[in-house]
Structure 1
Amino acid sequence: MSPKLSASLMCANLVNLEHDIQLLEENRVDYLHIDIMDAIFVPNLTFGPDVVNSIRKITNLPLDIHLLMEHPRVVIRSMDIREGDIVSIHSECKESIMENAAFIKQKKALFGLALNPDTSIEEVKKYLPYVDVILLMLIVPGFAGSSMIHGIMEKVRETRQYLDQHRHTNIEICVDGSVSCERARYMRDLGASIFVGGTAGIFRKDMPLSETIPTFIKSIT
C-alpha cells in the first residue's frame, strides 16, 4: 500500500482556507482531511456539510471526511460524496454502522471506520468485511494540537497484525493525531499507510507548507 498524506483542514488558515487548499494542491497532498464534529461525541464544533460542498467548487482533490458524531446519518446524506473519497464514521456512534457504510459505498467512496484510543479492533470485527480504511485516533479526539497518548503507536502494529491474520490485508490503516514526520516514519513501518498531517506534521509555525509537505512526504516514502 503506497503511503498517502491527508492534510487536516482543521489546522489550516480558516480565514483564507482557499489559499491554503491551493498550496496543498500545488504540493501534491493526496487528500484533504475534513473533521465534522457535533459538540456531543466530542466537545467541539468544526466544519459542516455546506463547507464540504463549497470546498468541492475550488478543488478536485479527494476528500477524507471524518465524522466525529453520535448521529452522522443526516450529515452524510447532505454532502457531495464522490468516488475516491474516504468517509469515516466512528465505531462508537449511536447509529447503524452497516446502513451508513452501505450509503457511502453506494457513492463509490471508501468506507472508513474510526476507533477511539480505547476501542479495540476486536470490538468491530463483524464490520471488517465492509471496511476499506481503519482510522486510529492517537489522541483524545476533539481539538487540534493535542498530545499523542503515550504508547498508542503500538496499536498500529497490533491492528495491522490483526487485519493480516484475519485475511483483511486490503484494509488500510489511517493514523490521526499529533503525527510528526518522525512518528509517521515509525508508524509506516508498523503498517500505517494514510497519515493525517496537522500542526505536528505540515501546518507548522516555523516552516511554510512548501517546505513541510515535501519533508513529510519524504519521511513516509
Structure 2
Amino acid sequence: MNSTASPPRIVPSVLPADFSRLGDECRLLERAGVDRIQWDVMDGVFVPNMTMGPDVIASVRPLVDLGFEAHLMVEEPDRMLRHWVDAGCEIIIVHAEATRHLHRTLDAVRELGARAGVALNPATPLSAVEHVLDGIDLLLVMTVNPGWGGQRYLASMEAKISAARDLIARSGRDIELEVDGGIGRGTIAGAARAGATTFCAGSALFRERAHLAEEVTALRALAAQAAPGPASHDKDTKEAA
C-alpha cells in the first residue's frame, strides 16, 4: 500500500519548546496524541541557527514511548549519523543539499537500523531524489526555508508536494510524504490536499499548550478532510504517466 493512503500523522517539532523543561514538554505532546516527535538539529553552518546535540535527545528518550525523528540541518551529516541513532531516533532525515553522495548516506542510515529520510529545501527540485528513491523511506518537502521556527508557510510548495506524491506513486514504494514549515490550522488543508500525509508543526502547537490535545485533534481532522481520495489520486497518477 502506498503512503498516500495513510491516515494523517501529526509530528511536532520541539524547536519552540521550553528547553529548560524539555522532558515535560515531550510528555505533554505524548498525552496530546501526537504520532512522533521531530528533533531539529542545526549546526550553525547549513542553517544560521544552532540547536541540540544527541545527548539532549538521549536524555528524553526514556521519558516517552513516541518515535523520534532527527531532522539534520547540518553539513556533512555522514560523520554524525550514528550519534542520532544511538540517541534513540528511529528516522534520520538528511538534506539532499548537504551531502555529496546522497545514495551512500541513505545506505549508511539504513545500515544503522534506522529509516532513511531526505529533506528538500524550497528551491531544490524533486530531481535531486528521483534516482535514489530505492533508498528512501520518507521524503520531507520543506514549506519554509529551514533554520528558524515561526516562519510563513510557502503555499507555492503545494505544487511540489503534489509532484512528489505522483513521483512516489509511480515508484511503487511506500515512501512517507512529510511537510515541515508554517503548518497550522490555516495551512494544513492545502498541504494535505496536495498529497502530504505527515505534518510537522511547531509554533502552531506550542501556542496552544493549554489546549494541546484539541489542537492536535483539529489539525489531524483538517488534514483528513482535505486529503485526496483514492479515485482522485489514481486519476492524477494516470495523467502524470
Q: TM-score, normalised by structure 2?
A: 0.83
Matched, 1:193 2:194: no
Structure with the bigger percentage of helix:
2
Distance 1:213 1:78 in 2: 30
Aligned length in residues? 219
> What CA deviation, in whole Å up to 9, does each residue of 1:46-89 have, x standing for no partner?
11111121121212211011000111123211134589822100
Aligned with residue 119 of structure 1, among 112, 124, 132 = 124
**1:8–1:33 Cα contact (<8 Å) kept:** yes
Matched, 1:100 2:105: yes
- Cα offset for 1:24? 0.8
Distance 1:76 1:14 in 2: 23
RMSD: 2.0
Unaligned runs of 5+ in 1: none
Distance 1:65 1:187 in 2: 21
- Cα offset for 1:94? 3.3
Which portions of structure 1, spanning 4 or more consecutive aligned residues, are displaced by more than 4 angstroms? 81-84
Task: Tell me the residue number matched to 1:78.
Answer: 83
Q: Which stretch shows the higher mean deviation, 89-98 or 130-139?
A: 89-98
| Structure with bigger gyration radius | 2
Q: Which stretch shows the higher mean deviation, 89-98 or 133-142?
A: 89-98
**1:82–1:108 Cα contact (<8 Å) kept:** no
Taking the TM superposition and a 5 Å limit, the aligned residue runs for 1:1-221 are 1-81=6-86, 85-165=90-170, 167-200=171-204, 202-204=205-207, 208-221=211-224
Distance 1:206 1:170 in 2: 33
Q: Which stretch shows the higher mean deviation, 59-68 or 177-186?
A: 177-186
- Cα offset for 1:205? 5.2
- Cα offset for 1:132? 0.8
Unaligned runs of 5+ in 2: 1-5, 225-241
Distance 2:89 2:141 in 1: 20
Provide closer, same or farther for how the CA distance between residues 191 and 208 of structure 1 changes in structure 2, counting only shifts above 3 A.
same
Q: Which stretch shows the higher mean deviation, 79-88 or 55-64?
A: 79-88
Q: Which stretch shows the higher mean deviation, 209-218 or 173-182?
A: 209-218
